[in-house]
């Protein structure tokens, strides 16, 4: 006669309850981690701006906004620059200064080094242009030559070189993102499920 051993698992209900919590815990932790990542990206971008802008009011740094959304079943962090502190659309900027700074303008912008996302190919103006002082203010402090045409002053330009601050910040944080999200997950698991 063969005897069967009986095994009793105590607290099975607790184990099942904890296992059922896992998907929500992971999703919430990844969501929080995505916020940490975009906040850090914004911080790096602001630091880059503040260290390199000679004559500024801080408007561009203050215009950087971010959000985390769920898109096609994935959690996505987004960073953008909006004038007047308002969001105008997904990954779109209505603050021209952000685009001009990140990508450059004219021939100088086209020929300057920059880090562009794959598949992104901006088109640049191919000839010089004149900037009216009446609309731009005095640009001589930036080393631009001023000329007089009739009764008005103008600044001839071949554009500005690119001075990227958003893409380098994204690249920098991308090296840290896995650790940031992993730390959020580990903390959430410890806090929600208990641990030693």
Question: Which residues does 93 contact at the CB level (< 8 Å), separation at least 6?
Answer: 80, 81, 82, 99
How far is it between the farthest Cα atoms of the chain?
Answer: 115
d(C-alpha 157, C-alpha 164), whole Å: 20
Each of the 196 residues of the chain gets a pLDDT tens digit; together they read: 777 888 777 777 887 888 888 999 999 999 999 999 999 999 999 999 888 887 777 888 888 888 999 999 899 998 888 765 443 333 344 577 888 899 999 999 999 999 888 898 999 999 999 999 999 899 998 889 999 999 999 999 999 999 999 999 999 999 999 999 999 999 999 998 876 5
3-state secondary structure of 119: coil
The pTM of this model reads 0.75
Domain borders along the chain are 21-104+163-193
Residues 162, 112 contacting (CB under 8 angstroms): yes
């Amino acid at each position: 006669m063969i005897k069967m051993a009986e095994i009793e698992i105590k607290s099975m209900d607790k184990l099942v309850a904890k296992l059922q919590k896992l998907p929500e815990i992971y999703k919430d932790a990844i969501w929080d981690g995505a916020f940490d990542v975009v906040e850090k990206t914004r911080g790096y971008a602001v630091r880059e701006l503040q260290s390199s802008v000679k004559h500024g009011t801080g408007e561009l740094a203050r215009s950087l906004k971010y959000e985390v959304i769920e898109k096609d079943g994935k959690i996505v962090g987004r960073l953008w620059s909006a004038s007047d502190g308002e969001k105008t659309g997904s990954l779109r900027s209505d603050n021209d200064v952000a685009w001009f700074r990140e990508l450059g303008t004219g021939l100088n912008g086209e020929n300057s080094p920059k880090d562009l996302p794959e598949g992104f190919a901006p088109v640049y103006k191919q000839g010089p242009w004149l900037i009216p002082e009446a609309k731009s203010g005095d640009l001589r402090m930036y080393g631009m030559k001023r000329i007089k045409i009739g009764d008005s002053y103008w600044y001839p330009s071949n554009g500005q070189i690119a001075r990227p601050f958003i893409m380098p910040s994204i690249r920098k944080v991308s090296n840290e993102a896995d650790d940031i999200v992993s730390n959020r997950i580990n903390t959430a698991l410890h806090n929600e499920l208990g641990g030693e």
